Amino acid sequence: MEERRESTKRMRAAAGTQRNEEDAASQVSAGVVAAAPSSMIAAATETDGEGTSIVAEPEAVGSAETEEHIQRILLAIDSFTRKVSEMLESGRAMFKDLAADFEDRLCTIHRERVERWEEEIRELRARDAANEQTRAVIHNAQLQLFHVRD
């Protein structure tokens, strides 16, 4: 189990070194003149009592050009974050206004529809009252006609 862990550690260390060398080669082939990134600084190796290598963490060292580039990126991130924040605030305000307009319009539609239904109810009641009055008149006329025959 220990051997497997140690061999995995060694393979990771070797893969990291290989990746760093590939990165450096691609930078040179692209014509980029820059200081080596902090991950390419030579790592010190030590040997513990059992003969296995221990890779020390590389130090974070960079050139002034790299630091300037990093600062430009950080400024761009900050600027972009501010723009996104402003857009969010603007969007919230716009949606708040839109929601208020929507609510007002929906309430107006509801009120108008309810008023139409209430008017329809009043008309039905008035028609029903007129019908009942007419029915009562007809009923009285029928009763008088029947009484006259008798």
Q: What's the predicted TM-score (pTM) here?
A: 0.42
The amino acid at residue 62 is G
**For the residues 25-36, what does the mean pLDDT come to?**
42
- CA torsion angle 9 15 20 26 (round to 10): -170
Q: Which domain holds residue 144?
A: 63-150
Domain boundary among 42, 62, 82: 62
Lowest-pLDDT range of 20-24, 33-37, 106-110: 33-37
Structure tokens of 99? 């929601």
Residues 5, 58, single domain; the answer is yes
Domain boundary among 62, 85, 115: 62
By DSSP bridging, strand 53-55 and strand 45-47 are antiparallel
* Percent composition of the chain: helix, strand, coil (DSSP 3-state, to 5): 80, 5, 20
Q: What mean pLDDT, rounded, does the chain reach?
A: 76
Q: How many structural domains is the chain composed of?
A: 2
Say whether 53 sits in a helix, a strand or coil. strand
